[in-house]
Amino acid sequence: MGGEPIVAIVGAGPAGLAATRVLVQAGLRPIVLEEATLPGGQGTRRLSPLSEPYRAALYGQGADAMARREDTENAILAKCDYRPGTLVWACHDNQLELLGPDGFVGQPYTHLVIAVGATDRIMPVPGWTLPGVFTLGGSQVAVKRHASFIGRKVVFAGSSPLLYLAAAQYLRLGHRDLTVLDTTPMAAKLRAFPAMLRHAPRTAMEGLALMAELRRGGVAMLSGGTIRAIEGDGRVERLRYVTRKGRETVVAADAVAMGHGLRAETQLAELAGAEFRFDPDFRQWFARTDAMGRAGETLWLAGDSARIGGAQAADAAGSLAAQSLLASLGRQIPARLLRRGRRRLKAQLDFQRAMTGAFRWPAETVAELPDATPICRCERVTAGEIRATLAAPVGPVEINRVKSITRCGMGRCQGRFCGPALAEIVASAAGETPGRLRAQAPVRPIPLVADTEGAEQRA
């Protein structure tokens, strides 16, 4: 490859920012593409001006450190070709396709780092499409972007460390009617805890501190059991669940935030040529990379979009990916630095792997979902329709063909939210490993004609 390298980083969350930092320190000026208008990512999402007044309440003693970190990130981004509000909707033949303030633009690259994060993984339950049901991430966006709660009586339900984090944020901002319903039994958490403590003692202790904070704050916390349904007349009014001991219980609620761990955003990596493997602990498909995050000749992946690891792992992975990229450009990277980075990343990833036992993806519950339960909300496809299609003579057995026939996963979200549940339904019928929906551009819906009014005004 001749000429100057063109390094593009997609995503300005913890992984993308770490990669950017390393590259800037090495004297490069990468292109940093961020879909949102602010950098920071999802879990470490920055506060909008509307939410800024609540900074001290939300972050407590960590508020100053948070502000310093944001200043450092801004300083780094100032030394890059930083383009916020820019969606990367496709990648083909060493060129990214952008939709941003200047409309549709093609951006060639010689080196690409993809760090686009993850979203909540959702296991549908009857009623999950009612107004008032959010993802856990959505409940945090409400606070950090819109300075509002998702409801007056809020249940955080599912199985995810984010249940506790999101509830704590609500508590700190003065919300006093909160319930955390974690479907993984306490016994499973206790079994997983020693390994979690061994791999990342600080993160593990932070988790315990969160739970203690919620207990002190009077937040109702339930663990074990199965969510039966979210019910209400036109919107959420209650959540019905069965305890571990089989007791039917009803919790009144006007909003529910759901999540069962995280789901890596993999479409762009696939379009860029990554290959995938199924991870049985996480029960999802991750891209194949080497220990530094390299996934191809010109491709590096870092952070939750490569494998679920959280913000600290993302920071470590972003640095490593950038160092590997620099090495491919012939730069010398001190072996000590690489060893330390890899150790740091491995500890966090091992921690997350241990945590899959403490916060279980309830794969087995798809078998009990009533036929009328919507699986694909975009296309309104129910569990029953998918099962009937699978049971038909010469019915499909492969997830992409099931999608093709049922439309499940064919709508606006392109299976990003219904995909994991669809995979489990197909796997339970075929008795095989859950399959993977193939990605196609665009990564997000794009208009036929781009709105470039902004660009004209600036001109």
Partner 1 sequence: MSETTTSDVIVIGGGLFGAFTGLFLARAGLKVTLLERGQVGAQASATNFGNLRLHGRSARQYPLSIRAQELWESYVRLTGETCDIDRTGHLYFARTDRGEAQLRKEVETAGRFGIDSQLMEGARLYDRFPFLAPGIRLAAFSPRSAVANPRLSTPPVARALLRYGGTVVEGCEVARFEHGSRGFAVTTADGRHFAAAKLVNAAGAWAGALAAQAGETVPMFSAGPPQFVTEPLPYRLHPSLHMVEGDVIVRQIPRGNVIFSGYPRTRSLVSGEFTYVPPEKTLRGMRALAESVPMLTRAEIIRVWSGVEGYLPDMLPVIGPSATLPGLFHAFGGSGGGFQIAPALGESLAALVRGEASPVDLKGYGIDRFGKSAEVSDKIRMEFDQPA
Q: Considering the rule CB under 8 A, would residue 441 count as an interface residue with partner 1?
A: yes
What is the pairing mode between strands 31-33 and 7-10? parallel
Tell me which of 212, 398, 432, 433 binds partner 1, using CB under 8 A.
398
Q: Considering the rule CB under 8 A, would residue 92 count as an interface residue with partner 1?
A: yes
Angle value at C-alpha 378, between 374 and 384, nearest 5 degrees? 25
The site map against partner 1 for 36-75 (x = CB under 8 A) is ----------------------------------------
Q: How far out from the chain centre does Cα 235 lie? A: 26
Residue range at the interface with partner 1 (CB under 8 A); choices 16-24, 121-129, 169-177, 434-442:
434-442
| Residue 95 vs 226, nearer CB to partner 1 | 95
- Cα-based distances in Å from 21 to 85, 316, 397: 20, 12, 46
Tell me which of 396, 419, 420, 435 binds partner 1, using CB under 8 A.
396
Q: Considering the rule CB under 8 A, would residue 94 count as an interface residue with partner 1?
A: no
Q: Considering the rule CB under 8 A, would residue 405 count as an interface residue with partner 1?
A: yes
Residue range at the interface with partner 1 (CB under 8 A); choices 5-13, 216-224, 350-358, 405-413:
405-413
| Residue 5 vs 103, nearer CB to partner 1 | 103
Q: Considering the rule CB under 8 A, would residue 78 count as an interface residue with partner 1?
A: no
| Residue 378, φ and ψ in degrees, nearest 5 | -60, -45
Tell me which of 197, 220, 338, 446 binds partner 1, using CB under 8 A.
446
| Residue 185 vs 273, nearer CB to partner 1 | 273
Tell me which of 195, 229, 242, 410 binds partner 1, using CB under 8 A.
410
| Residue 106 vs 218, nearer CB to partner 1 | 106
Tell me which of 395, 427, 430, 452 binds partner 1, using CB under 8 A.
395
| Residue 91 vs 204, nearer CB to partner 1 | 91
Q: Considering the rule CB under 8 A, would residue 296 count as an interface residue with partner 1?
A: no
Contact between 374 and 366 (Cβ < 8 Å): no
Distance CA 241, CA 249 (A): 5
Strand, coil or helix: what is 153? coil
| Residue 335 vs 448, nearer CB to partner 1 | 448
Q: Considering the rule CB under 8 A, would residue 84 count as an interface residue with partner 1?
A: no
Beta-ladder partners of 107: 96
Output DSSP code: residue 4. -
| Residue 283 vs 403, nearer CB to partner 1 | 403
**Nearest partner of 186 among 261, 249, 243, judged by Cα:** 243
Query: Alpha helices of 173-294 — where are they, by DSSP H?
Result: 186-199, 201-216, 267-271
Distance CA 393, CA 313 (A): 47
CB of 378 to partner 1, least distance (A): 9
**Nearest partner of 403 among 377, 422, 420, judged by Cα:** 422
| Residue 185 vs 442, nearer CB to partner 1 | 442
Residue range at the interface with partner 1 (CB under 8 A); choices 122-130, 152-160, 292-300, 408-416:
408-416
Distance CA 386, CA 405 (A): 9
Q: Residue for token digits 């990379």?
A: 289
Q: Considering the rule CB under 8 A, would residue 377 count as an interface residue with partner 1?
A: no
Q: Considering the rule CB under 8 A, would residue 391 count as an interface residue with partner 1?
A: no
- Count residues near partner 1 (CB under 8 A): 30
**Nearest partner of 383 among 111, 95, 128, 63, judged by Cα:** 128
| Residue 78 vs 394, nearer CB to partner 1 | 394
Contact between 258 and 133 (Cβ < 8 Å): yes
| Residue 78 vs 449, nearer CB to partner 1 | 449
Strand, coil or helix: what is 439? coil
Contact between 308 and 264 (Cβ < 8 Å): yes
Q: Considering the rule CB under 8 A, would residue 404 count as an interface residue with partner 1?
A: yes
Tell me which of 27, 78, 93, 391 binds partner 1, using CB under 8 A.
93
Residue range at the interface with partner 1 (CB under 8 A); choices 61-69, 89-97, 145-153, 178-186:
89-97
Contacts to partner 1 from residues 103-142, by CB under 8 A: 104, 106
Question: What is the crossing angle of helices 186-199 and 201-216, to 10°?
Answer: 140
Q: Considering the rule CB under 8 A, would residue 90 count as an interface residue with partner 1?
A: yes
Handedness of CA 375, 377, 382, 385 (dihedral sign): negative
Distance CA 389, CA 422 (A): 12
CB of 22 to partner 1, least distance (A): 29
Q: How far out from the chain centre does Cα 276 lie? A: 17
Contact residues for 401 (Cβ-Cβ < 8 A; gap 6+): none
Tell me which of 48, 95, 110, 328 binds partner 1, using CB under 8 A.
95
Long-range contacts of 165-168 (CB under 8 A, 24+ apart): 165/43, 165/140, 165/210, 166/136, 166/139, 166/140, 166/257, 167/214, 167/219, 168/210, 168/213, 168/214
What is the pairing mode between strands 255-259 and 262-264? unpaired
CB of 48 to partner 1, least distance (A): 25
- What residues line the site for partner 1 (CB under 8 A)? 89-90, 92-93, 95, 97, 104, 106, 392-398, 401, 404-405, 410-412, 414, 440-442, 445-449
